[in-house]
Chains A and B, each alone.
Chain A
Amino acid sequence: MSSITIEKSASKGINDLLRHLLSTGKVDAVLAMRMMPDTGAWDLALVTDVKNLKELKPLAPVMTVNASQVLSNLSLSGKKIAAVLKPCELRAFVERVKREQGSLENLFTISHTCGGVFPLDLVAEGKVDRLLPKYEKVVSAGEIPSNIRDTCKACEHFIPMNADIMVSAAGECKPGEGCMIYLNSDKAREALSECTGEHGSAVLDSTSLEKLATARAREREKLFSSIEKDCSGLDGLVNIFGKCVGCHGCSRVCPICYCTLCDFESINFDYNLPYFEEHLARKGALRLPPDTMLFHMGRLTHMSFSCVGCGMCSDVCPVGIPVAAVFSRTGESTASIFDYLPGRDVTEEIPVMIFKEEEFPELG
């Protein structure tokens, strides 16, 4: 695999790379995380002017939105865009492409080994800057920071799959030891053939990430077994989902839930008085809004197999439901039936859109 070594830290190296792509006209715009220097506020930014590149912090452990959502329409605009995506954002985008919600054609996908992101409340409180030095230290040691999203702690896919350009940022790359950039596609090799840095050929040394992989696997098992215990039976379900206020925030921020006409927001779930009367005749009381639990069950059946575990849903939940943990856990079991891994390969079809004639003899 072709590679470029830049004698700078990973975060400086990736900024050099973006500058090269934008100033040479290889791309029309750059999409990456940004921190406004005057206010310290974080956002995702689309940059077309080289002078604005210095505000970007592409490797920052912050995800204000899952970038794959905003990338959908941008990717169809015909402009060439270099998008810096976290591994789960890239996987989510691949899932969106499968659903005809975007195209990889005009994109340079740039991704990096990911140490996990901070929950949004820490970002909103402006604590990221202060927490960053310790985060970087812990991540480069191949350990899990204690203050990242729960699903990030349990994420096993922190090495990007099929990014055009991959930057080593967790575990392998120590600060000051140079930034390794791996070029996975012909268009990346072509675009970066004149980028400064030492060109060579190298493969990501995954052994240096083994420690992190083991720690993540342990954390995943812990998260899953606790959520299994919490969700089983009526009491558990009421305990977990009974708090739901029906805001549908989790589905709005979900990169997989792309339907603009969601069934749950349609007239199908806009109940009329006779429905309530029938229910009240049996029970004498009714919780409103109705069907908050059914909403979660519905989303689970509709898209859990494509869940990439980005954790946006848990982060925006106003009442603290561990939505992402539930989805990661059930997503793993529903996807494994079909030997499916969301975002692994854009040619791999969504399991419920295809079938084999001979399968599941136990059903029916």
Chain B
Amino acid sequence: MSEWQPRILAILCNWCSYAGADLAGVSRMQYPPSIRVVRIPCSGRVDPLFIMKSLQSGFDGVLVSGCHPGDCHYISGNYVARRKFAVLKPLLEFIGLEPNRVQFSWISAGEGDRFAKVVTKITEDIRELGPATRLVKKT
């Protein structure tokens, strides 16, 4: 059997991070094939519930990425997102989830290399942690 590959949900904002991922692609940058991308209008649209639900559905990790603070297409969506993530963190800690399973980052449309680096890093972090078992039984 081949080596276990982490499955990571990447929730990317339409204006910056998704375009950053696109740039990484057209620039032929290499990064692990561990992410499944969901494109959203703005990181402010992310209800922390989406993150809980994806972990419960069997994802090993979640990456949420939006525009850099100050660069939000909708002026302040990512500031609000940041507050919501700050609330989510202690909650994840409380239920015993390893903090590195859920990561946030700010990636602009011009940062294809940064996107590749972020994905490589979260994949390595989660590979180290192994499959997520705190919210779901792996069969």
Contacts and interface: CB of A to CB of B under 8 A. Distances in A.
**Interaction A to B:** yes
Interface of A: 228, 231-234, 236-237, 263, 282-283, 293-294, 297-298, 300-302, 304-305, 329-330, 333-334, 337-338, 351-352, 354-357, 359-360, 363-364
A364 B90 contact: no
A364 B95 contact: no
Contacts of B70: 357
Contacts of B89: 363
B91 A330 contact: yes
Interface string B68-110: 0110000010011011111111110111100000001110000
Interface string B37-72: 000000000011100110010100000011001100
B96 A301 contact: no
* A-side interface mostly: helix
Of B65, B90, B91, the most chain A CB neighbours within 10 A belong to B90
Contacts, number: 98
A294 B49 contact: yes
A297 to B, nearest CB: 5
A351 B83 contact: yes
A301 B90 contact: no
The 4 closest A-B pairs by CB, nearest first: A232-B96, A355-B79, A301-B48, A333-B90
B137 interface: yes
Given A233-B134, A237-B95, A282-B58, A352 B49 contact: no
Contacts of B93: 333
A282 B139 contact: yes
B135 interface: yes
